Amino acid sequence: MNSIITNSISKSCSYNEYRSLISTYAQEGKTTGLISSPDYINYTKLNESRMHRLDKTIEVTQETKALLENLSKEYIWLVISETWCGDAAQVIPVINKMAEVASKIDLRIVLRDENEDLMNLFLTNGTKSIPKLIIIEKETGEVVGDFGPRPTQAKQLIIDYKAAHGVVDETAKIELQKWYLADKGVSIQNEICALIKTTASQNLPE
């Protein structure tokens, strides 16, 4: 396994530990990361509320459940995040629900700004966009895929908005949150499952 990934995993936390961190920081008026502005503190508070709701409402589809319950190999799902990230608040609860139905998936979470070397291995178009899910085969330590920061339709929503308005402002962020609310985590599940299927097919004997 890559030494950077190994080091990051050693510093990682469970989903429950990550949720506890967000709850504590939201109550204390704090945020993770290098920027501790009032906006970022407010985002952390908003994300605590969003994740609390999603933890209760997100459901794993039958198709997703069938795939994850029958994995042939064990995996580490390593997620890069920060408490202030709006996309992370929408995506990570879905990833957690997926990991909960899969006995062969170990979900771990690390903070971006504390793991810069790791983040630099998984840039999106040259940017440190989060969340980023890294799928690692446990036995070999090989990275077999990654997902993030958003599902395809959500990415396109932001691309289209920026093309029309020239910026990604608060209105764009509200529209993005509405999209996540309507989608109910289905697109995230479908895209990660498609990634798993692709990985599995590549590992089949010829």
Phi and psi at residue 146, to the nearest 5°: -150, 155
Q: What does the alpha-carbon distance between residue 24 and residue 45 come to, in Å, rounded to a whole number?
A: 10
> Structure pTM?
0.95
pLDDT, mean of residues 142-149 = 96
Per-residue confidence band for 154, with pLDDT thresholds at 50, 70 and 90:
very high
pLDDT in tens, 158-206: 999 999 999 999 999 999 999 999 999 999 999 999 999 988 665 543 3
Q: What does the alpha-carbon distance between residue 92 and residue 17 come to, in Å, rounded to a whole number?
A: 13
pLDDT the model gives residue 202: 55
In the sheet where 75-81 sits, what is the strand order?
105-111, 75-81, 132-137, 143-147
Q: What is the DSSP letter of 166?
A: S
Q: What does the alpha-carbon distance between residue 168 and residue 158 come to, in Å, rounded to a whole number?
A: 7
Phi and psi at residue 20, to the nearest 5°: -65, -40
Q: What does the alpha-carbon distance between residue 145 and residue 126 come to, in Å, rounded to a whole number?
A: 18
Phi and psi at residue 13, to the nearest 5°: -130, 165
Per-residue confidence band for 1, with pLDDT thresholds at 50, 70 and 90:
confident
Contacting residues for 158 by C-beta, under 8 A, at least 6 apart: 150, 168, 172, 176
Contacting residues for 118 by C-beta, under 8 A, at least 6 apart: 4, 5, 7, 8, 80, 110
pLDDT the model gives residue 111: 98
Enumerate the H helices of 101-185 as residue ranges. Answer: 116-121, 152-165, 170-183
Beta bridge partners of 133: 79, 147
Pair of tokens at residue 104: 């062969």
pLDDT in tens, 110-134: 999 999 999 999 999 999 999 999 9
- Report all structural domains of the chain as residue ranges with CATH numbers, in order of start: 3-202 (3.40.30.10)
